[in-house]
Structure 1
Amino acid sequence: MKKQGGFTLVELVIVIVVTGIIAAIFAMQFGPSLQHYLAVGRRANLTHLADTALRRMVTEIRTAVPNSLRLLPMPSAKLSCLEMVPTSDGGRFRTGPDTQWDTANPATPSEPLDLRAPDAVFDVLTAFDNAPKAGDWVVIGNQNTADVYEGSDRAAIASIGSPPATGSSNKPLGQSRITLGAAKQFPYAYEGGRFNIVPDSLQAVTYMCKDAGVDAEGTGTGTLTRIAHYGFNASQACPVAGGTSAVVATKVRSCNFVYNPDQGATQQSGFAQLQLTLADHGEIVTLTVGAQVENLP
């Protein structure tokens, strides 16, 4: 009878023990390197998330309606809100009539914006990069933060058309002509000749940091959320109710928003400082950015 080959139980035990020893050696040698690799990956991901969120905030802050930034009252340390009114475009409006054209064409006169009385039609002298639509908002001369939210210097657009061309030279009276939904008297003392366009799809926008903290595993528990299209409210509370929400950052350990509207000798430029701290399994990343805020209407 042919003898069968194989392993004895003792040989099998010896192989298992030797394999375990080799595996332990590899774990001791490569374990820290693997943990370091995972930690670097977490920090890189947190840095990317924080940088993307803060860049988005800074972009909207720099294009917001002058004097529209405000920090909303905070009911708790784990909740903070920064509100603004972002713009999509702007330009200059006609401040006085084109007398030469008006004399020759009394049936189709130029349309300056009259700041002395309610007015509903005006010529735009500059071209749009992002043309407004019916329902969007015109803001003119926002000197005080509450004004744009209360509506004293804000009016809805009914239509955007073209002014007539000026005779043989084909020189336009303006690039476009805006008709408002209702006659509006904008601030009489304003002399800048500029206006801002606020998309109705956005209206006021708030960045809300909620439930900031850290759990037992060292991961942030909070979220940074962008809330838009909830209207314009003279008195706005934090947290913001309604509107459309989009999460900008997760794993938030802490947020710190600071806004000073009176930076600079002329008090026409503010400064916002934004700090965002994210955490993931004990890895912590803190980014701080500053943004100059142009408050000259």
Structure 2
Amino acid sequence: MRSRGFTLIEMIIVITITGIIASIVAVFMRAPVQGYADAARRAHLTDTADTTLRRIARDVQSALPNSLRPNAACIANTTTLCGIELLPTLTGGRYRQDDACFSTGCTTLTSLGSVIAANDELSGRRIAIYNLHNNDGANCASLNPSAWCGQNVATIIASTDSSNNDQFNFASTTFAPGTGSPSRSFFIVGGPVAYVCSNVGTIGDNGTGELRRYENYVAASAPTLPPAGTSGQLIARNISGCNINYAPAISGTDGLLQIYLEITEAGETAGLYHEVHVDNAP
């Protein structure tokens, strides 16, 4: 019995049919695969924008009352440079009344209840009382005491922990106004924090901007963004739109921060708008 293999013509026919079938499958599969890739890209862009806005909101809601201030350039809908800065609070509470702190000056402050866990854990930090002004106009007049100007703040040189109260020591400081703080609240603040969008725009199918977070730089009375002397931490890239608008007194002591962030990558764009309530009760 003689075995028989494939002829060249049969092989060509099979290859041709296989190619036709593969082409048909590719045509029908291309749209779903492309759709999946586009959906995944949009989800990634949206997630990046959402995570970024929530991170900003967390810092803003822990800020020292009346310390939040935006860059003036942020008023426009889309800018090449836009940002905000604030003084974050580490802890705080209420203090025992000491009239000398608002008249002749004092060197100690005693809390009602304990707010620290160990002696001297906050040495080098600043204690702030009755901060009334974010100094966005670069005016350090005493009528509007501002922590940015070094008013109503003192650097802690020692602190003593107690189960009932804590004592904070600092150089002699006179706080304003002379009538004292109505709420008798104090805040322990850390170094400044800023969020800055830069080089915002688009080239081709991609955004060109970056959003960076800056921290623990030297505080200045007048807002300067981005802060000098630090490169900051990259939070998001491909920024095609960035708008930050802040109204410090929407209702009484309540402010409102409005943020719009837009990211463009490979022709896909995701834009999110977020509002943050800001409690400015000093």
Please give the TM-score of this superposition, normalised by the length of structure 2: 0.86
Q: Is 1:185 the counterpart of 2:174 in the alignment?
A: yes
Q: Is 1:52 the counterpart of 2:41 in the alignment?
A: no
Matching residue of 2:102: 115
Distance in 1 of aligned mates of 2:59 and 2:39? 31
Bigger Rg, which one: 1
Task: Map 1:262-281; keep pairs closer than 5 Å.
Answer: 262-264=249-251, 266=252, 268-281=253-266
Contact 1:68–1:84 (Cα < 8 Å) also in 2 = yes
CA-CA distance at 1:237 after TM superposition: 1.9
Please give the TM-score of this superposition, normalised by the length of structure 1: 0.82
Contact 2:79–2:241 (Cα < 8 Å) also in 1 = no
CA spacing shift, 1:40–1:130, aligned 2, 3 Å = farther
Matching residue of 2:138: none
Instruction: Extract structure 1 runs of 4+ deviating beyond 4 A.
Output: 2-7, 129-132
Q: Which letter maps to 1:88?
A: L
Q: 1:283 aligns with which of 252, 268, 278?
A: 268
Matching residue of 1:223: 210
Q: Is 1:136 the counterpart of 2:136 in the alignment?
A: no
Query: Number of aligned pairs?
Result: 264
For 1:114, what is the secondary structure of its paired residue? helix
CA spacing shift, 1:133–1:230, aligned 2, 3 Å = same
Distance in 1 of aligned mates of 2:271 and 2:104? 51
CA-CA distance at 1:190 after TM superposition: 3.3
Q: Is 1:246 the counterpart of 2:233 in the alignment?
A: yes
Q: Once the two structures are superposed, what CA deviation does each residue of 1:12-31 show, in whole Å capped at 9, x if it has no partner?
A: 43333322211211111111
Contact 2:195–2:213 (Cα < 8 Å) also in 1 = yes
Q: Once the two structures are superposed, what CA deviation does each residue of 1:167-189 show, in whole Å capped at 9, x if it has no partner?
A: xxxxx7x5111111x11111134
Matching residue of 1:65: 64
CA-CA distance at 1:144 after TM superposition: 1.3
Contact 1:228–1:244 (Cα < 8 Å) also in 2 = no
- RMSD over equivalenced CA pairs, Å: 2.3
Distance in 2 of aligned mates of 1:244 and 1:66? 27
Q: Once the two structures are superposed, what CA deviation does each residue of 1:251-271 show, in whole Å capped at 9, x if it has no partner?
A: 21111101011201x3x1111
Q: 2:193 aligns with which of 193, 197, 205?
A: 205
CA spacing shift, 1:127–1:113, aligned 2, 3 Å = farther
Matching residue of 1:83: 85
Contact 2:117–2:161 (Cα < 8 Å) also in 1 = no
Q: Which runs of 5+ in 2 are unaligned?
A: 136-145
